[in-house]
Amino acid sequence: MTACLRDTLDSVECSAQEIINRTKSHRLDNPLEAFELKTLINIRLQDLARHKEIALEAGILSADDAAEIMGLEARLAISLAKCELYLASPEKYREFVVHKKALVNRWTRRLTRVGFVSIAVLTVLIGMKVLRTLRPTIQRFDL
């Protein structure tokens, strides 16, 4: 296998191993974490398929490398199945939806607060500019 392809495969394997360890080390308690892991696993599986295809077309894939890639794909598939089982559970999925709604509501409130503050700041800035512009006119009235 060429050095470039080997380096790429090693980086994909390192990332995939980290994902596998995250699914093995503890239960997936957070639905967003399971969804994120599922997305990462799908990306890594696509990367592996692309690299395997490139190596096969170039004719540089040895039997050992193919076995290594297939083993990594199998471990990733197991981790993907864990994430999908977690998300397939109705109560866990309900938690995910509720959590997602809570996130949307939280950010909506934050953006609303920022909007109110920015409107107040802009009003003050515009008022100061208007007063600076009108100052000579007001001073001419000699009040």
pLDDT digits (tens, 9 = 90+) for 22-76: 666 555 666 777 778 788 888 888 888 888 888 788 787 777 777 877 888 888 8
Are 20 and 71 part of one and the same domain? Answer: yes
pLDDT score for 96? 64
Q: Is the pLDDT of residue 92 over 60?
A: yes
Are 108 and 84 part of one and the same domain? Answer: no
93 domain-assigned: no
Q: pTM value?
A: 0.50
User: Which tokens is 84 given?
Assistant: 């999908």
pLDDT score for 90? 60
Are 128 and 67 part of one and the same domain? Answer: no
Are 80 and 36 part of one and the same domain? Answer: yes
Are 79 and 132 part of one and the same domain? Answer: no
Are 55 and 24 part of one and the same domain? Answer: yes
- d(C-alpha 138, C-alpha 124), whole Å: 19
- d(C-alpha 52, C-alpha 100), whole Å: 36
Domain of 62 in residue numbering reads as 3-88
CB 96 within 8 A of CB 31: yes
97 domain-assigned: no
